[in-house]
Amino acid sequence: MSQTPAAEASERDGHHAVLTRPPAAGDTGGSRDRWAAVVLLGLTTFVVVAAEMTPVGLLTPISTGLGASEGTVGLSLAITGLVAAAMAPLTPMLVRGTDRRTAMVVLMLVVAIANALTAVSTSFAVMSAARVLLAVGMGGVWAMAPSLAPRLVAPRSVGVAMTIVFGGVAVASAVGVPAGAYIGALAGWRASFWVLSAVSLLLVVALAVVLPSMSADRAAPRASLTAALGRRAVRYGLGVTALLVTAHFTAYTYMRPTLESLADLDPTVVGTMLLVFGVLGILSNFVIGPRVGRRPTAVAVALATGLALTFGGAPFLVSTVLSAAVLMVLWGFFYGGVSVTTQTGMSRAAPDQAESVNALWAGVFNASIAVGAFSGGRIYDAGGADVTLWTAAALAAGAGALALLGAARARTR
């Protein structure tokens, strides 16, 4: 995740090329910014992430309602992550000749149906089918929304547009997941998914009305993915991303039973803790993002170290509501900067292959969610909250060590 001066020059040229490319069909060409459409794309990322993560705040009642263990129900995140990881890079090929407005409308309709099916699930098998369907829609949205945003605004506004689209992720963690937990506490866990389904349907209508018709872009050649993987810095960056995301989701998927176990928290208080976590994640994104700059490796090491210490110390230090709140503050802040830091490092590693690198990053990110949720479930069921947190700490420490190793190898080339 470190670069030579030549690579830095290439990065500047690459960014310049992106910002000054000729408008494609359906682009504004700088004549008209379509901010309403950009905001709708941000709302789509909000909904799909909220739908993906809502089971985290409802793990216990879903477990009771479906007659399955909490570890088993947590596999719903693993299912979603694995299918989304496969779907994201396939989406451009599957919808190659389809108008992008039509594709987005169909994808959000799939998300709406998936949430409704989750709400009526009577067994883990039915819920698993619903989560597979959700992952198809989610993977498609992730593959398309970020690429459509730059086509809706003038080049000078691309940065703001992308911030809005990716802002849906942070807001989903801060507001969506806690809201789902509160709705679940008040009206039952099924109500949370009915609300998500209704919001998804509203977005289907809004996208059809507001999003302009946009022609399909050509998918990146498969050879470009191979070339990106051939770069050592890219491989190290993917490894760091995999370890950090796996560490987080090993523990985060089972946050509710962990907090109930360590600090004997009431379910409504858990919702507040999730809100604290999300708010600190947003704060971290805005604090760390502008400061990553030319030192993504140093920031990655700092975040990994912070997560390792937070996870490792929690079983010894968390026993009250106050200490649980401190845990959420630290956890939210350290993890909140992971996405922007790893993305920055990956972009610097291969600025001339940004689309391919981002596709690889997204695939690894979603696959790591699945691995974390799956392994966390097995570890939690077998060893409880303490062992789960210590495992997450070891993975985070490994991410920091790998980032340092990658930087050392880059300096000795």
* pLDDT single digits (tens) 277-296: 888 888 887 777 667 766 88
Exposure letters 247-283 (e unless 16+ CB within 10 A, then b) = bbbbbbbbbbbbbbbbbebebebbbbbbbbbbbbbbb
For residue 356, the model assigns a pLDDT of 67
- pTM greater than 0.85: no
Please calculate the CA angle 388-247-396 and round it to the nearest 5 degrees.
Answer: 110
For residue 217, the model assigns a pLDDT of 55
Provide the CA 117 distance to its chain's centre, in angstroms.
23
Sign of CA dihedral 285, 288, 293, 298: negative
What is the tens place of the pLDDT at every residue in 56-82? Answer: 778 788 888 888 777 778 777 778 878
| 292, 241 contact by CB (below 8 A) | no
Q: What is the mean pLDDT of each run of 10 residues along the chain (413 residues)?
A: 44 37 44 82 90 81 82 77 80 75 93 94 88 89 78 75 73 76 86 94 94 70 70 90 94 84 80 82 77 80 96 91 91 87 74 67 81 85 90 96 88 70
| 121, 148 contact by CB (below 8 A) | no
For residue 25, the model assigns a pLDDT of 42
Long-range residue pairs from 13-16, CB within 8 A, at least 24 positions apart, any chain: 13/351, 14/351, 14/352, 14/354, 15/351
The tokens describing 245, both together, are 């995301």
